[in-house]
Amino acid sequence: MSVTSVRQSRCRECVERIPWIAPECVKDAANLTIAADKWGFGTTLWEICYDGEVPLKDKKLTEKQRFYEAECPLATPDCRELADLMTHCMTYDPRKRPFFRAIVRDIDLIVTQNPSIKPVPSPEVDPTMFEKRFLKKIRELGEGHFGKVELCRYDPRGDRTGELVAVKSLKPENREEPCSNLRSEINILKELYHENIVKYKGICQEEGGQAIKLIMEYLPSGSLKEYLPHNKTSQKTLYSYAIQICQGMEYLGSRNYIHRDLAARNVLVENADRVKIGDFGLTKSIKDNEGYYTVKGEQDSPVFWYAPECLIHCKFYLASDVWSFGVTMYELITFCNSAYNPMPMFLKMIGPSQGQMTMTRLVNILEEGQRLPRPDMCPEPVYALMRKCWEKSPEKRITFKSLIDQFTLLHATASST
Ligand code: ADP
Ligand code: MG
């Protein structure tokens, strides 16, 4: 296991242990003090009061993480003193938790005063439900064919201290669609938990209306397409981005999802060292027995990022994403310079054409074995890997796993200037 996958699995383990693990230990697992045990005691007390129920048992990992992030309390029992004690033990500030001696004293008191303690189901706060009235738009972040993404502050206190979030909604003209891409994107993103996949925070449902918004973490540097032209990072960093994208894609594939829209515009930058895959609007689940997904007449497909089997048979395999990764790598290595944008590059190769003719010609040149040419600044070994992503038959293509190994080797020997 690589260093990053060990870190990823430790991080996952911490989130799985919510709400037993103290919040300060999720951020830093080494942060073990007696205060963490006080939190754990609070959770244990909860289990006792609720007859051995499992707290937050139906929550997905993203939702559990959100629960701590928003500093939510667990539901508390009817007995006021017990509820207070539990809340006190599970205070988010470790310094404010009670001394164990005080806990023992409180419990003694409760037991003498309340001979029978009954558990009461009370509704839990749901930190993944965002109220529309508290979402304050700051600016637009981006726009696609179906939707738009805005930067908002979620400010329930109304004092501008609330968190910044990215909010994706459908454009008004697409709102009528009964099973929109956005709903499916929400359901998929909620299931995913990986350090190289944009984090789901929740949804915002308009009162009475059908419209739904997706709330995600806000990544200040936008997509690689906006970031790379202004930040000429070293090749070593580009290889690190490649590894991270492949790790996110490997995880996605292991969950039997195909992304179907992997491109630099859909890879978001958290900071100079970390990128995350975003935009799961076209992502589909594949059935194990078939191993592919068939599209039925979708418009506006990112054709220049697509493998021949997607264009000819409308079939998408996990290996079809590998092809798109090759094109994405082409964008990375050229720093998303518009002079090397895959679309005009392909259009130059197929000559002047329009509409359906463009598709037919694109398929023809790909079938003839023509591929995007090696850009001047692209090292031979990187181009060789791109070519392995662009093998005509999906079975022959390199896998994300091997790509991770190969880029790790390149990363190890590249200089950081
Ligand atoms: P679409 O489905 O319309 O293509 P995307 O999810 O790709 O929507 O978002 C469009 C653009 O909005 C992205 O290319 C990026 O520039 C910006 N964007 C999207 N999500 C975020 C985010 N979480 N943080 C910052 N910028 C984002
Ligand atoms: Mg997009």
Same domain, yes or no: 357 and 255: yes
Interatomic CA distance for residues 111 and 7, integer angstroms: 44
Of the ligands numbered here, which is closest to the C-alpha atom of 201?
1
Q: What's phi and psi for 268, nearest 5 deg? A: -100, 150
Number of Cβ atoms within 10 Å of the Cβ of 54:
10
Q: Which residues contact 354 (CB under 8 A, 6 or more apart)?
A: none
Per-residue confidence band for 77, with pLDDT thresholds at 50, 70 and 90: confident
Same domain, yes or no: 261 and 336: yes
CATH number at residue 172: 3.30.200.20
- Is 261 annotated in the active site? yes
Q: Per residue in 389-414, pLDDT tens?
A: 999 999 999 999 999 999 999 999 99
Closest approach atom of ligand 1 to CA 279? 6
198 touches ligand 1 (CB under 6 Å): yes
Selected residue with higher pLDDT from 365 and 356: 365
Residues in the chain: 417
336 touches ligand 1 (CB under 6 Å): no
Which has the closest alpha carbon to 377: 346, 332, 327?
Answer: 332
Which of 78, 113, 148 is where one domain is finished? Answer: 113
Of the ligands numbered here, which is closest to the C-alpha atom of 180?
1
Per-residue confidence band for 175, with pLDDT thresholds at 50, 70 and 90: low
Q: Does residue 235 have a pLDDT over 70?
A: yes
Q: Choose one of 140, 149, 228 to mutate for the ligand 1 pocket test, by most ligand atoms within 8 angstroms of C-beta.
A: 149
Residues around ion ligand 2, judged by CB within 5 A, are: 144, 266, 279
Q: Does residue 79 have a pLDDT over 90?
A: no
Domain extent at residue 202: 132-217
Q: Per residue in 28-58, pLDDT tens?
A: 878 889 999 999 999 999 998 888 889 999 9
174 touches ligand 1 (CB under 6 Å): no
Which of 217, 236, 268 is where one domain is finished? Answer: 217
Q: Choose one of 62, 139, 140, 141 to mutate for the ligand 1 pocket test, by most ligand atoms within 8 angstroms of C-beta.
A: 141
* Residue 127: inside a domain: no
Radius of gyration of the chain, Cα coordinates, nearest whole angstrom: 25
141 touches ligand 1 (CB under 6 Å): yes
Interatomic CA distance for residues 138 and 129, integer angstroms: 20
Interatomic CA distance for residues 392 and 369, integer angstroms: 8
Q: Considering the chain, what percentage of its residues have pLDDT values greater than 90?
A: 72
Q: What is the pTM of this model?
A: 0.89
* Residue 120: inside a domain: no
Q: Which residues contact 351 (CB under 8 A, 6 or more apart)?
A: 361
397 touches ligand 1 (CB under 6 Å): no
Q: Cα–Cα–Cα angle for 191, 60, 38, nearest 5°?
A: 150
Chain mean pLDDT for the chain: 91
Which has the closest alpha carbon to 389: 411, 408, 365, 372?
Answer: 372
Same domain, yes or no: 140 and 269: no
Interatomic CA distance for residues 176 and 164, integer angstroms: 28
Per-residue confidence band for 226, with pLDDT thresholds at 50, 70 and 90: very high
Q: Does residue 208 have a pLDDT over 80?
A: no
pLDDT of residue 271: 96
Which of 164, 188, 217 is where one domain is finished? Answer: 217
Q: Which residues contact 353 (CB under 8 A, 6 or more apart)?
A: 361
User: 303 exposed, middle or buried (CB, 10 Å; 0-12, 13-18, 19+)?
Assistant: middle
Q: Per residue in 101-143, pLDDT tens?
A: 999 999 888 888 876 666 566 567 889 999 999 999 999 999 8
Ligand 1 center to 214 CA (angstroms) = 11
Of the ligands numbered here, which is closest to the C-alpha atom of 148?
1
Same domain, yes or no: 106 and 153: no
Total of domains in the chain: 3
Same domain, yes or no: 229 and 211: no
Residue having the nearest C-alpha atom to atom 14 of ligand 1? 265
Per-residue confidence band for 176, with pLDDT thresholds at 50, 70 and 90: low
Q: Considering the chain, what percentage of its residues have pLDDT values greater than 70?
A: 93
Closest approach atom of ligand 1 to CA 226? 16
Q: Per residue in 271-295, pLDDT tens?
A: 999 999 999 999 999 876 678 888 7
Interatomic CA distance for residues 72 and 59, integer angstroms: 13
Residue having the nearest C-alpha atom to atom 4 of ligand 1? 144
Residue having the nearest C-alpha atom to atom 11 of ligand 1? 142
* Residue 393: inside a domain: yes
